Amino acid sequence: MKTTSDFLKMKAAGEKIVMITAYDYPAAKYAEAAGVDMILVGDSLGMVVLGYDSTVQVTVDDMIHHAKAVRRGAKDTFVVVDMPFGSYHGDPNEALKTGVRMIQESGADALKVEGAGEVLYVIKKLVHAGIPVVAHLGLTPQSVGVLGGYKVQGKTAEQANQLIEDALRCQEAGAMAVVLECIPHQLTEIVSQKLEIPTIGIGAGPEADGQVLVFHDLLRYGNHHIPKFAKEFANVGAQIQKGIEGYKKAVKEGSFPAPEHCFNMKEEELFSIYG
């Protein structure tokens, strides 16, 4: 399994870090078999797996439940788990307790938290307790209400400067990497050059040290809204739809189950049933 120091080396060597989200055992197995560098159990699971319309309904227990399944499917891949909405903004000691519980119960390798400001103290506390932390700046979906929608962030010089400062502060606080979501690619380039720790972009251009995409977006699996920045690498959803429709048709017309799907009883046994 790669470690936090491997990710630093990858950045220094200019080798891109590949991250994908996963929320269950089969997805984690596929991701590990493909050899991705990191898996994120994102709170995006609220939307793509649980059918909520934002990430704010997701609970700590939801995250642990899914992270456990991912861990079982990807024993040799670095797994990061999102701390969900509201779980790290109150008493920092509570945040630490919650973070420790998430790591202990799920077996994941690291946690991810959104934002800087007061969250910097939480990053410091978690890292001090020995938990690697990934920061997340730019579009931070847990703050969608405050941001006023899912919009590109850091477009003005003032916002960009703030983001650069926040990224440097996350690094100082001990973060192992920073996810940059939905920011202009020029800003990604500046932040990536200023930081020693890797940046992992989503909707942030090719200049990031790594990329992350949501499993269900890049494979077109599910019927949630798919953002503009997500490329379709396969259309699994269309295959699933076709498969289920084929099954329905076969049952209705009586072509399934066929003889090869049936179990047989010996004739003499059959005779003794009917006498």
**What residues line the site for Na ion (CB under 5 A)?**
42-43, 82
Determine if 135 is a binding residue for ligand KIV (CB under 6 A): no
Binder of ligand KIV out of 7, 21, 73, 109 (CB under 6 A): 21
Beta-bridge mates of residue 272:
none
Whole-number minimum distance, CB 50 to Na ion, in Å?
13
Q: Which of Na ion, ligand KIV, none sits in contact with 134, Cβ below 5 to 8 A by type?
A: none
Residues 63/66/69/75 CA torsion (nearest 10 deg): -50
C-alpha to C-alpha distance for 161 and 156, rounded to whole angstroms: 9
- Give the binding range for ligand KIV (CB under 6 A) out of 41-49, 96-104, 186-194, 230-238: 41-49
Whole-number minimum distance, CB 163 to Na ion, in Å?
17
260 is annotated as an active-site residue: no
**Tokens, residue 199:** 């940046």
Q: Which of 181, 260, 267, 269 is catalytic?
A: 181
Binder of ligand KIV out of 38, 44, 87, 177 (CB under 6 A): 44
Place of tokens 């919650």: 98
Cite the DSSP H helix spans in the chain: 4-13, 25-34, 45-48, 60-73, 92-106, 119-128, 144-147, 157-173, 185-194, 215-218, 236-253, 267-274
Does 114 appear as a known binding residue? yes
C-alpha to C-alpha distance for 19 and 28, rounded to whole angstroms: 12
Binder of ligand KIV out of 103, 214, 219, 221 (CB under 6 A): 214
Does 112 appear as a known binding residue? yes
Does 207 appear as a known binding residue? no
Does 6 appear as a known binding residue? no
C-alpha to C-alpha distance for 141 and 124, rounded to whole angstroms: 22
C-alpha to C-alpha distance for 22 and 31, rounded to whole angstroms: 8
Determine if 43 is a binding residue for ligand KIV (CB under 6 A): yes
Binder of ligand KIV out of 37, 62, 82, 209 (CB under 6 A): 82
Q: Which is nearer to ligand KIV, 98 or 142 (CB)?
A: 142
C-alpha to C-alpha distance for 79 and 166, rounded to whole angstroms: 24
- Cβ contact 122:92 at 8 Å: yes
Binder of ligand KIV out of 212, 216, 219, 220 (CB under 6 A): 212
**Binding positions for ligand KIV, rule: CB under 6 A:** 21, 40, 42-44, 82, 179, 181, 202, 212, 214
Residue numbering of the annotated binding site: 43-44, 82, 112, 114
Catalytic residues: 181
